[in-house]
Amino acid sequence: MKLKSIKQIKNLTGKKVLLRVDFNVPLTGGKNPKVAEDMRITESLPTLKYLLNKKAILILVSSLGRPNGVRVPELSIKPVAKKLEQLLGKKVLITPDCISDETKKIIDSLKPGEIVMMENAEYHSEEKNNDVKFSKRLASFADIYINEAFAKSHRAYATMVGVPKFLPSYAGFLLEKEIKELSHVFNHPKRPFVALIGGVKISTKLGVIKNLLKIADDVMIGGALANTVLKAKGISVGRSIVEEDMVKALRKLKLTDTHLHIPVDVIVSDKMTKNAKAKVKAAGNIAKNEYALDIGPDTLKLYDCIIRESRTIIWNGPMGMFENPKFASGTVGVIHAVVHSSAKIIIGGGETAEAIKSLKSFMHFERSNIYISTGGGAMLKFLEDKTLVALKPLIKK
């Protein structure tokens, strides 16, 4: 898939560029919130700097949290704009919203090489509803649209698919890089090619699991979603988190496929609190009052062996409730295996990245063979469909 790149734009001087970024980053609490983790911002800096150096007038639009069409003060974009100022070393103005006359006035006052950030796009319900009038109004502020928001590109939102109908549209550098890395999995994977899928909800990952079973050599399942798979196989999972409405759908999947690996043992407890007592049990021996909260040591040994023999690895979702050290050994063990692998590795999902970065001793993840995607849901959707809804306006014809 080839996308129209911003490098194709011949003259950016004085052009108003509406840049859709995904700066949906975690904030610290309190009266003066600050950005707690800035990966999504720093990954977009090459595109921002390129456009500013070309003397474009930069209009950034992003969402933050889930305000659901209501102005929630705690979800203001202001802390994000302040962090961006620090990273760029350049003043970042803020508009009061996305579509008012006051916003237009601020944008019209900008000079080439200056930058403004719109207030949270999801303060407007029209954003998620892909409202045509909202899209047209946003587009009227700019000459060019650029998509730099890979993590939102599976969403049919106004700023993702509506605005491109009214403006010449291109892909930013980060979006191009994400698609290039993920496309490699389909087109040129070195084998053995394996996938690790964890997390909570099987409903959001069943499609990609089905697709991966067709193209990967091994698919390993962990996390709470493994409980639903175990139950679909007729194995008792006690009080473990299960998506009951997915059990029937899973039974239609070929759960006996030798390429599909599910936990053979688990770490259980009768509590999900910090003072919980953890113990190892076979996957078929979970008591009625117990929760399965991590993969067990035998499962980890199996997964470790598969990972170490692999040459291409995709990982999305932790193997257990890693926030509690008593149930983090599965996720930590997978990180150990990945760190010692020379395979091409693509990692996606906020929780997965959080687990990795929480282990300070493994911060040498900045290696050429390891790529950490900025998108979790978007990554899974691309692996399932080989495209995303917001990419369609950007594809070279």
Residues 6+ apart with CB under 8 A from 72: 65, 123
Backbone angles phi, psi at 375, to 5 degrees: -120, 140
SS3 state at 280: strand
Q: Is the separation of the CB atoms in 85 and 92 below 8 Å?
A: yes
Q: Does 350 participate in catalysis according to the annotation? A: yes
Instruction: Identify the active-site residue in 162, 223, 348, 350.
Output: 350
The CA distance from 308 to 300, in Å, is: 12
Q: Where are the alpha helices (DSSP H) in the chain?
A: 39-42, 45-53, 78-88, 101-108, 125-128, 132-139, 173-187, 206-215, 225-232, 244-251, 297-309, 329-339, 350-358, 377-385
CA-nearest of 290, 314, 347, 320 to 223 is: 320
* Alpha carbon 297 to its chain's center: 28
The CA distance from 29 to 33, in Å, is: 5
The CA distance from 392 to 99, in Å, is: 25
Check residue 277 and report its DSSP letter.
P
- Burial (CB count within 10 angstroms: exposed 0-12, middle 13-18, buried 19+), residue 241: middle
CA-nearest of 43, 147, 87, 66 to 374 is: 43
Instruction: Identify the active-site residue in 201, 239, 281, 326.
Output: 201
Structure tokens at 248: 């029937």
The CA distance from 296 to 344, in Å, is: 26
The CA distance from 382 to 155, in Å, is: 12
Q: Is the separation of the CB atoms in 61 and 21 below 8 Å?
A: yes
- The single residue listed with the structure tokens 């949270």 is 120
Instruction: Identify the active-site residue in 162, 317, 320, 377.
Output: 377
Q: Is the separation of the CB atoms in 151 and 21 below 8 Å?
A: no
Q: Is the separation of the CB atoms in 240 and 224 below 8 Å?
A: yes
Instruction: Identify the active-site residue in 40, 83, 155, 205.
Output: 40
Q: Does 40 participate in catalysis according to the annotation? A: yes
Q: Does 252 participate in catalysis according to the annotation? A: no
Catalytic residues: 40, 201, 350, 377
